[in-house]
Amino acid sequence: MKCTRCQGLMVADDLVDLQESYLPMWMRGWRCVACGNIVDPLINRNRMVQRSGAMGLLKPDVCVPVFARQAKAA
């Protein structure tokens, strides 16, 4: 696999998220040995959404749980 940034060699890598989640979370991704570019399933999904123009269709309150909206109204 070639890097989309520098056309360098991409190797499989285990990526660990220690800061953004309550428990350490890991996923399989690809890392470029030349420039360090990282690609994983979440990055691919976000890039696909941006390219499709679907960001404008998403509402800011879509991810808010129902009980949080009810608490604001009370």
Q: Which residue has the tokens 């360098």?
A: 8
- Torsion of the alpha carbons at 42, 47, 52 and 56, rounded to the nearest 10: 80
pLDDT (tens digit per residue) in 19-72: 766 666 788 999 999 999 999 888 888 888 888 876 666 655 555 555 544 555
Which amino acid, one-letter code, is at 72? K
> Apex CA 38: angle with CA 35 and CA 43, to 5°?
145
Q: What does the domain layout of the chain look like in residue ranges?
A: 10-73
Q: What's the CA gap between 46 and 43, in Å, rounded?
A: 5
62-72 pLDDT, tens digit per residue, is 555 555 445 55
